Amino acid sequence: MTHHATAGIAPQLASPRPRRKLLRSALLGGFALAAASASPATAQRAEPCIGISMEVTGPLANQGLMLRIALETALDKINAAGGVLGRPLRLVIYDDVGEPARAVDNARRIGERDNCVVMFGGARTPNAIALREPLAEMGLPWVGSISAGTGVIEHPGGRNEWMFRVSMKDRWVTEYLIQQAKARSQSGKIAFVYEGTAWGQGALPDIEAAARRNNVTLAGRETFNIGDQDMSAQMIRLRDAGVDTVVLWAVDRESANMLRSMDRIGWKPRIISAWGLTTAFARAVGPLAEGIMVAGTFNWNGPLSPAAQAAFDAMKAKFPDRIRTTADMEQPSAMANAWDAIHITVEALKIAGAYDRTRLRDAMFRVNYTGLVADYRPAFIRGNQERMDAVLPEAYKLQAFHNGMLMPIEATPFGMRN
């Protein structure tokens, strides 16, 4: 590349053109040279490491821990089998404390200082969205296994080239939740309750669009602030509007406080939630969690395939203090997603044949892989950024809390199968 650019300038230097024109040509050639050498297309040898920026401390630190358990266990297995392309893969973890600015800083470290071949993402959608430009500048492939915001993958103008996801997508999740709510609501009066964060507010237009597509008129839309300890006012309004089914978009603590508010006023609607609810929620509220349904991609408490059983056994052996039973898999879907994400990435590295980011990115579109969550054939489709999401809605599963455990819904007394 460098050689061609230099050759392009040389004949101009030899011709009798005016000096200004020569200077302009030289400058243009110089810029072309600089641009070519900085282009992601020329990014070459990277290190056999996976950098990850996630919440190690902060309110969602537990999600970070669950990701770490899945990723480190999977890497142990991969490295024990000889690594990838003859070299062991390392995991480099950075704490973003849940802040987008820290996530960007960490991405720079991973891409420029550590020179890792790929970056993985943590839980928060705003952090992932903040990485869109830096990743494109560095030519660093990114794979998410939690942050489900539609905009993480679907960039304005269809410009996503580097961000892949093995997780749920909010636009598809909202459609799924509305369909499940419609199928289960007896009065047809469905409400949406969401947290007042970027994640919650970002879901509102998707929910409204999904409701329109499914001929559902939302009977209420209620929000709350993070840290709110009482939501009686919102629940009274929904109860008085005759709502019998609530689509919930929130995480453990505030959802528990919402349940308490419902309990105070003696109102128990059906609740169908996005995957912010974990087993920690059930431990905190006890019997009030019974029957609450949660969308997800995987459940460890049901019958497990041999591959899933082996994955669980390996996590249990590596983290005996943290994982004793399948009930300790507090982020069941995210852990399965992460397990699949790392294996898809390894398959892509094998196809790429080198620790080269651009070749890895291109190889991601050629991976076919049977994972825990889905049969990825193919995992991603080039030229269709909607399909830089590997997990399709067909793989979504409804689960329900029963006796304090999050179970596949067919293993509970709470209604229809998926």
Partner 1 sequence: MEAVTQYLLTGLSVGSVYAMVGLGFYVMWTAAKAVNFNFGDIFMLGAVLTVVAIDQGIPLLPAAVLAVAAAAIAAAAIERGFVRPFNREANAIGWMLTTIAVGTMIESATTALFGSNPRGLPSPLAETPIRLGGAGIYPQELLLPVALIIVAVGLELFYRRTMLGRAMRAVAWNRTAAGLVGIDADRITLIAFGIAGVLGALAGLLIGPVVQASSTMGAVIGLKGFMVAIIAGIANARGVVIAGVLYGVAEKFIEGYLSTAARDAIGFTLMVLLLLLFPQGLFGRKEIKKV
Minimum distance from CB of 29 to partner 1 (Å)? 53
Contacting residue, 39, 44, 232, 309, with partner 1 by CB under 8 A: 232
How far apart are alpha carbons 279 and 329 in whole angstroms? 8
Computed from CA positions of residues 59, 333, 76, 369, in that sequence, does the dihedral angle turn out positive or negative?
negative
**Shortest Å distance, C-beta 230 to partner 1:** 5
Exactly one of 62, 79, 179, 214 binds partner 1 (CB under 8 A); that residue is: 62
CB of 239 to partner 1, least distance (A): 8
Kindly write out the interface string for residues 207-226 of this chain, putting x where it contacts partner 1 by CB under 8 A and - elsewhere.
---------------xxxx-
CA torsion sign for 312, 318, 321, 322 is: negative
Q: How far apart are CA 211 and CA 178, in angstroms?
A: 6
Alpha-carbon span 157 to 179, nearest angstrom: 29
User: In whole angstroms, what is the distance from residue 413 CA to residue 418 CA?
Assistant: 13
Binding string, residues 270-289; x marks residues near partner 1 by CB under 8 A: --------x-x--xxxx---
Which of 273, 278 has the CB closer to partner 1?
278
204 in contact with partner 1 (CB under 8 A): no
CA–CA distance, 117 with 173 (Å, rounded to integer): 30
CB of 405 to partner 1, least distance (A): 16
233 sits near partner 1 (criterion: CB under 8 A): yes
Residues in Cβ contact with 385 at an 8 Å cutoff, skipping those fewer than 6 apart: 153, 154, 155, 158, 159, 160
Near partner 1 by CB under 8 A: residue from 204, 209, 236, 351: 236
Quick one: which of 6, 57, 368, 418 contacts partner 1 (CB under 8 A)?
57
- Count of residues binding partner 1 (CB under 8 A)? 38
Site stretch for partner 1 (CB under 8 A), options 44-52, 81-89, 227-235, 347-355: 227-235
Amino acid at 34: A
Interacting span for partner 1 (CB under 8 A) from 5-13, 162-170, 254-262, 298-306:
254-262
* The one among 53, 125, 234, 345 contacting partner 1 by CB under 8 A: 234
Query: In the bound complex, what is the minimum distance in angstroms from residue 240's beta carbon to partner 1?
Result: 8
HSE-up (13 A, CA, CB side) for residue 204: 13
Here's the x/- map for partner 1, 141-170, by CB under 8 A: it reads as: ------------------------------
CA–CA separation, 102 and 119 (whole Å): 14
Q: Is 222 helix (H, G, I), strand (E, B) or coil?
A: strand
- Taking the complex as a whole, how short is the minimal distance between the CB of residue 245 and partner 1, in angstroms? 20
Could you say whether residue 199 binds partner 1 (CB under 8 A)?
no
Burial group, residue 302, by CB count within 10 angstroms (0-12, 13-18, 19+): middle
230 counts as binding partner 1 under rule CB under 8 A: yes
Contacts of 272 (CB under 8 A, 6+ apart): 177, 180, 181, 184, 245, 246, 247, 248, 293, 294, 295, 398
Q: What is the DSSP letter of 14?
A: H
Work out how close the CB of 34 gets to partner 1 at its nearest, in angstroms, rounded to a whole number.
Answer: 43
Piece of the chain touching partner 1 by CB under 8 A; list 38-46, 60-68, 371-379, 402-410: 60-68
How far from 142 is each of 116, 118, 165, 207, 260, CA to CA, in Å?
Answer: 11, 6, 8, 27, 39
Q: Pseudo-torsion of CA 363, 369, 375, 380, nearest 10°? A: 0
The binder of partner 1 chosen from 60, 116, 271, 344 (CB under 8 A): 60
Q: Which residues contact 152 (CB under 8 A, 6 or more apart)?
A: 121, 125, 128, 129, 144, 163, 165
Looking at residues 325 to 384 of the shown chain, list those that interact with partner 1 (rule: CB under 8 A): 330
Minimum distance, C-beta of residue 232 to partner 1, in the bound complex (Å): 5
Cβ distance to partner 1 smaller for residue 21 or 237: 237
d(CA 237, CA 269): 13
Residues 6+ positions from 41 with CB-CB distance below 8 Å: 139, 358
By beta-carbon proximity to partner 1, the closer residue of 223 and 299 is: 223
Burial 3-35 (b: 16+ CB within 10 A, else e): eebeeebeeeeeeeeeeeeeeebeeebeeebee
Nearer to partner 1, 108 or 283 (CB): 283
Q: Which is nearer to partner 1, 66 or 152 (CB)?
A: 66
The contact set with partner 1 (CB under 8 A) reads 55, 57-62, 196, 222-225, 227, 229-234, 236, 239-240, 252-253, 256-257, 260, 263-266, 278, 280, 283-286, 330
